[in-house]
Amino acid sequence: MMKRKKIVFFIDSLGGGGAERVVSVLCTQLQARGYNIDILMLNKRPIAYPLPEGVTLYHAEDMPVTTLGGKLARKLIQRCMHLQVRFWNPMLRKFGCHTYPRANETRMYFYANYALPYREYLRKNPGCTAFGFLIRSNISMLMAAKGLDVKTVFCERNNPVRPDMPANIMKIRDRICRRCKAAVFQTEEERDYYTWLRCPTAVIPNPLKDGLPVPFEGERRHEVVNFCRLNKQKNIPLLIDAFELFLRDYPDYTLRVYGRGDEKENLMALTKDKGLEKSIFFEDFAPDVHEQIRDAAMYVCSSDFEGLSNSMLEALAIGLPCVCTDCEGGGARMMIRHHENGLLVPVRDAQALYNGMKEIAENPELAQRLSKEAARAREQLSIERIADQWEAMIG
């Protein structure tokens, strides 16, 4: 019997997030097509999305470094990192330099903690195809695979220009991604950033998850919704400011935001400071969120930057009238045709976001037309169609 082709996904973790959901979906689809799949992760976190039986999970901290060369390299690198933290960085501070990278933002850190154990794994799995999701995992994968018989596929999952990412990590990514043997992007705008790549590339949008409810038809609830990871990238304070303006004209509306993240407590405090706790509600991550929001008045995305937002795609697919910031990364403008299947507004502009919300609220015919056209995303982004495109990247 012919041995099944091995696929390896490298990712930071499988907690809630867009890249994590895509890996979950691809695992299910590609395993059903006969592939043997492993997932290698940087961090241990709860698994947020279902995985099929037979997918093997590895965590970097549990993967041993057994070769003599690997052990010596790790000891040397860890010693250098200790010297950097203990002596070099304090000396730089003493002379007024405060822009040096932290120890966990250096090539040495990635190599010692992730690339060395990953390299031993890849040596035991020659001929596999390795997909790297998220910046840190891409760096670790490409370091580990250098010189080995592995097809490495660099996968960009966000706006390549990340203001929330340490500058040194971005520099490492831009240098090391040249080693990849293929690359996948969510949007053309993402691909345009990597002008130096000389390998085969593809633009593959995110697939829709199975089981999304059918678009709602009828009178919609007076509720604005968003569901996302609650971090600074999503700029929920902008949504709160815009909804505060909107509430003056439409006091019977509520705003409900679903999700988890570091910013949740700050957002709840901001809502309380504004005296809006009776109109704005924060809910936990909900597996059935699409059922809960399908009859809402509209979905509003206030992100500062995105690759291709899964929540936006899912909101379109279930027929929610959508207002989205036209943010860097290009995903929103790739999917939304202004006034045809949604509304695009400038980033960081509360007045513009309010105007978009008001336009939908006061024009039911527009809302109905946007809903109908938005739902066409179901055909374009079917799991089977998207999985075909990913399968074509396998070596």
pLDDT (tens digit per residue) in 157-179: 988 988 888 999 999 999 999 99
CATH of the domain at 278: 3.40.50.2000
Residue 77: phi and psi, rounded to 5, are: -65, -45
Q: What is the mean pLDDT of residues 94-107?
A: 75
Question: Is there a single domain that holds both residue 15 and residue 131?
Answer: yes
Query: pLDDT tens, 126-137?
Result: 999 999 999 999
Of the residues 203, 231, 261, which one is the last residue of a structural domain? 203
**pLDDT (0 to 100) of residue 2:** 41
pLDDT class for 16, splitting at 50, 70, 90? confident
User: How many domains, in total, are found in the chain?
Assistant: 2
Question: Is there a single domain that holds both residue 196 and residue 279?
Answer: no
**How far is residue 352 CA from its own chain's centroid?**
25
d(CA 53, CA 40): 16
pLDDT surpasses 60 at 3: no
**Residue 304 or 16, more confident:** 304
Question: Is there a single domain that holds both residue 41 and residue 154?
Answer: yes
Question: Is there a single domain that holds both residue 199 and residue 326?
Answer: no
Question: Is there a single domain that holds both residue 111 and residue 246?
Answer: no
Q: Has residue 197 been placed in a domain? A: yes
pLDDT surpasses 70 at 209: yes
**pLDDT (0 to 100) of residue 100:** 63
Q: Has residue 390 been placed in a domain? A: no
Q: Has residue 80 been placed in a domain? A: no
Query: CB of 290 within 8 A of CB of 212?
Result: yes
Using a pLDDT cut of 90, give the percent of the chain over it. Answer: 76
- Looking from the CA of 54 toward its CB, the CA atoms found within 13 Å total 14
Question: Is there a single domain that holds both residue 264 and residue 173?
Answer: no
> Which residue pairs from 377-380 have beta carbons closer than 8 angstroms and sit at least 24 positions apart in sequence?
377/208, 377/313, 377/316, 377/317, 377/335, 377/341, 378/208, 378/212, 378/317, 380/205
Of the residues 203, 230, 263, which one is the last residue of a structural domain? 203
Strand partners, 38: 8, 56
Which of 59-73, 151-165, 302-316 is the least confident region? 59-73
Q: Residue 13: give the domain boundaries.
A: 6-65+100-203
pLDDT surpasses 60 at 85: yes
**pLDDT (0 to 100) of residue 99:** 67
Q: Has residue 208 been placed in a domain? A: no
**pLDDT (0 to 100) of residue 91:** 80
Q: Has residue 46 been placed in a domain? A: yes
pLDDT class for 98, splitting at 50, 70, 90? low
Give the Cβ contact number of residue 56 at 10 Å.
11
